[in-house]
Structures are given as C-alpha cells and as structure tokens.
Structure 1
Amino acid sequence: MLLGVLVLVLIGLIVALVVRNAGSSDQASSTTASAAPATFGPLGDLSRRQADDPRALGEVDAPVTMVVFSDFRCPFCAAYARDIEPQLVEKYVDTGKLRIEWRDQPIFGKESELAARAGWAAAAQGKFWEFTTDVYADAPQTGHPDLPIDVLVQHAEAAGVPDLDRFRSETLSDRYAADIAADAAPTEEFGIIGVPAFVIDGEPIVGVRPIETFEVVIDQYLGGR
C-alpha cells in the first residue's frame, strides 16, 4: 500500500513539473516573438530616412527601404528606372510598404560626376525625379550617353527646373562634392563596384534583375515586420 502511494505521488510530481515547464516555455516563446527586433541583411541598414529628402520616394516610416546606387550615364540604370522602378512604386511605394532612396555612384568618368552634381542641383529645386526620368528616357540601350553641361541644362528645362541659371551654376561648382562622396562611401566599404546596385534592408542585389527578384526580397522583409 505504501509503495503504491509513493508511486502515485511520484507520478503527480512528474506531471506537475512537465506542465510547469511547458507553460514557462510557451511564455518565453511568446515574449521573445513579441520583442523580436527588425532584422536586416548582411549589409545592415543603409537607409537615411530623412523626412525632407528630395531624392527619396515613399513614406519616411515605410517598413522596408531600398537604397539604389546609380549613375546617370549607366544604360542598365536607365533600364531599371524605365522598366522596374514604376512597377515597384505602384505596388509598394504608393501603398506605404517601401521607401526608395537614391545614392550617387558616378563611375563612368567626369561626365558621370557632372551629372551627379546636376542631380543634386535639380533636387535643390524640387525636381530631382523629373530630371532623372528625363535623363533616363533619353538614354541609349547600350553605351554611355554624352552628358555635357548644355545637355544637362536641356534635361533640367524639360524636367521643369525653374531657375536654370542657378542649376547651371551649382552643377559646375563643387557644392555637392561632399554629398556625392558620402553617397558612394558604402559601395567602397562593401566592395560594390557595379551599377545599378540595390540594398533592400541590408540585402544586396547587383545589376538589373527581373521584377520578381525585387518582389521576393521586399516581401521577405515585409513579412518580418
């Protein structure tokens, strides 16, 4: 009889211990899941999220950010801007899910550097994206277009930049040299040598890819928020 009672007590203790541990495990899992921070890819968070950034598209607090490294003389950058970006804007930016931030990576010589300064000069007058659209709309399928100052002024005029004299003066100056260098700094740090290059919440994509490539990565990071 005594042995039977001891067995019953032992079984009761085991059951109580299992139930208590299971409850503690469930509570810990719930706490961990609710407190889990946002995660980023191998390059980390390169976004700036400046509310007044004229070279950004989308809400400043959008859950996912894509940083785009581009050169105005790059035909593949132009292909992305014409064919891929409008689809991303419609599907993700306009719905508040994605923010796109531009970064200069002028790698094709002096005219690339001049065009980068022109982009900043257009942005200073609130016409960066219009200027970008006009430059890329006129880009060839292959090769690097000539973009001397007079051609850049023509693009600025077509984009609706109001003060063309100011645009010309700022483009020919070194006013934005430090800004352009800061834009390109991450590409040097991480060894990104081609354009266009994209970093979606730290996940790199180099070169023009099908729209599905961007969607998979964006959806992946949206799912983790």
Structure 2
Amino acid sequence: MPTPTRSPYRKPVAFGAVVALAAGLLGFVSYRATAPDGSPSDAPAVSAATGQDPGAYPGLAELARRDAGDGLALGRPDAPVVLIEYADFKCGYCGKFARDTEPGLIEKYVDAGTLRIEWRNFPIFGEESEAAARASWAAGQQDRFWAFHRAAYAEDAKEKGFGEDRLRELARQAGVKDLDRFTRDAGSEAAGEAVAADQEEAYSIGATSTPSFLINGRPVAGAQPAAVFTRAIEAAAAEAAGVGSAGEDAGERAE
C-alpha cells in the first residue's frame, strides 16, 4: 500500500478522548481501502450495516461545515444527515464509489432533502493527486465542482493522468466557462490552503486511505456496497428524527 504524503501545513489537532477513539477505529478499518490486492467488498467498515457500529461520535459529527456557499457540497445545509467524503482523484476505489454508489444516494437521499454530501480533498498519491485536488477546488469556484468530479472519475479517466493540460481538458468537459481563471485559481495560494485544510482534517481523524467517510459522525471506510451506506444513512436519519423539541423520541410522539 502506498504511503500517504502529508501536507507541509499539517499541525496536531485534538478533538478529545471520544473522538480519538473514533479516529482509531477509522484508521483500523480504512487501511485496506487502497491496498492494491484488496477489494472494496472485502474491506471492513464501521457502520450500522456490519453489526460493528460504534455509534455516532459528536466530535466527528461537528466536522460537517453546512456552509450554504460551499461549492464542493451537495444538498441542503440543514439536511438531517451529512456524509463527509475524504477522497483522492487518483484513487480507483473512490472512482468506483463515484460511479456505482454515489448517484443512487444522490437520487434517493440528497434530492429528497435527507442527505447532504460534503467533499474533502484528501490527496495521498503524490503530485498529480495534489494537482487534481487543486483543480477540483478551482472548478468549484465557478460552480462546476461536481461536473469536474464526474469527468475526473469517468471510467478509465485516471489512467490518462492529471497533468496540467489534462486538468484543463477536464475543466472544459465540466463546463468551466473561464479556463484562464480556472488555471489561475488552481495555482493559487487559496487553493493550496483549502486542500491542506481538508487533508489535515482527514489525518486528524485517523483516515489513512481513500475513500473514507463520516455519516453524522459514524466512520465508514472504503467503497462499500450501496447497502452499507443506505443503512448508515437511514440509521442516522432515524436518530435525527427521533428527538423532538422537547427531547421525546419518535415512539413517544407516536403514542
């Protein structure tokens, strides 16, 4: 398994003992997600679907930004469930999730207002990963992140590499209108700071491979089957709906 490259901006971040425990779990379950001889279905996950759900960790749930102006997010800022994805555009399993699982989650949960997806750039495979992360952020400055995301994760896209010309072509495919601005933004200090902040957040919670996810504070690692995400999202949604303004649970309200 390739060794992740850490950002020079990395500084220690602490979220308390409970979050440290959750981070340890995420690190444990995520180490196989990018192993060259592994498979997503074999990679363990911490989720409600596996029977090994440690529950939601409030400190991790608080990492949801819920910024209405975030171009790297989909869904209502006040959605009851937030899925945070830490991913790398050179990661094959990230591409598998993007192609095979994410569209169904968007249709079933994001469009219904239940789920918000927040992307975090987590480049761990070297210079091209970093360049693609910066480029995705630059596309987001023109509201074309998700179109860029689709283009970069298209079948066999990563085999073509993420050199400067290729990234500009992906931006063109994504409908980025001002390509010169895109190039400037991708090379800007702001892009570097945004990517470094995402990367630092991933390391701080114990993520060691891509893709890694948090679903309302629940760690899930790897491109798991859709059922894993469905069950975790529905469990989180049920928990969010189970507490009313007076603190009663759903069962008490139904009586």
**Take 2:217 and 2:56, find their aligned partners in 1: how far apart are those partners?**
5
Letter of the 2:152 counterpart:
V
1:54 maps onto 2:71 in alignment: yes
**Take 2:232 and 2:72, find their aligned partners in 1: how far apart are those partners?**
22
**Take 1:207 and 1:107, find their aligned partners in 2: how far apart are those partners?**
15
**Take 1:196 and 1:210, find their aligned partners in 2: how far apart are those partners?**
13
1:199 maps onto 2:232 in alignment: no
Across the aligned residues of Structure 1 and Structure 2, the Cα RMSD in angstroms comes to 1.6
Would the aligned equivalents of 1:71 and 1:106 in 2 still touch at CA under 8 Å? yes
Partner secondary structure for residue 69 of structure 1: strand
The number of residue pairs the alignment matches comes to 185
Would the aligned equivalents of 2:85 and 2:212 in 1 still touch at CA under 8 Å? yes
**Take 1:66 and 1:158, find their aligned partners in 2: how far apart are those partners?**
26
1:134 maps onto 2:172 in alignment: no
**Take 1:113 and 1:74, find their aligned partners in 2: how far apart are those partners?**
12
Would the aligned equivalents of 2:61 and 2:215 in 1 still touch at CA under 8 Å? no
1:147 maps onto 2:165 in alignment: no
Instruction: Give the alignment partner of residue 119 of structure 1, picking from 121, 136, 143.
Output: 136
Q: Structure 1 or 2: larger helix share?
A: 1
Partner secondary structure for residue 192 of structure 1: coil
Deviation at 1:216, TM superposition (A): 1.0
Which whole-Å deviations, capped at 9, do the CAs of 1:140-193 have from their partners, x for residues lacking one?
6xx865100100000000111001111112223333111111112222112211
Mark the runs of 5 or more structure 1 residues left unpaired by the alignment: 1-38
1:182 maps onto 2:203 in alignment: no
Letter of the 2:146 counterpart:
W
**Take 2:128 and 2:189, find their aligned partners in 1: how far apart are those partners?**
14
Deviation at 1:138, TM superposition (A): 4.2
TM-score of the two chains, using structure 1 as the length reference: 0.78
Change (3 A) 1:60 1:118: same
Q: Match for residue 46 of structure 2?
A: none
Instruction: Give the alignment partner of residue 99 of structure 1, picking from 111, 116, 131.
Output: 116
Q: Match for residue 41 of structure 1?
A: 57
**Take 1:172 and 1:179, find their aligned partners in 2: how far apart are those partners?**
12
TM-score of the two chains, using structure 2 as the length reference: 0.69
Percent identity over the alignment is 44
Mark the runs of 5 or more structure 2 residues left unpaired by the alignment: 1-54, 241-255
Q: Match for residue 30 of structure 1?
A: none
Deviation at 1:109, TM superposition (A): 0.3
1:224 maps onto 2:235 in alignment: no
Partner secondary structure for residue 137 of structure 1: coil
1:215 maps onto 2:230 in alignment: yes
**Take 2:175 and 2:184, find their aligned partners in 1: how far apart are those partners?**
17
- Compare relative contact order (CA 8 Å, sep 6+) and give the higher one, 1 or 2: 2
Which whole-Å deviations, capped at 9, do the CAs of 1:84-114 have from their partners, x for residues lacking one?
0000001110000000000000000011101
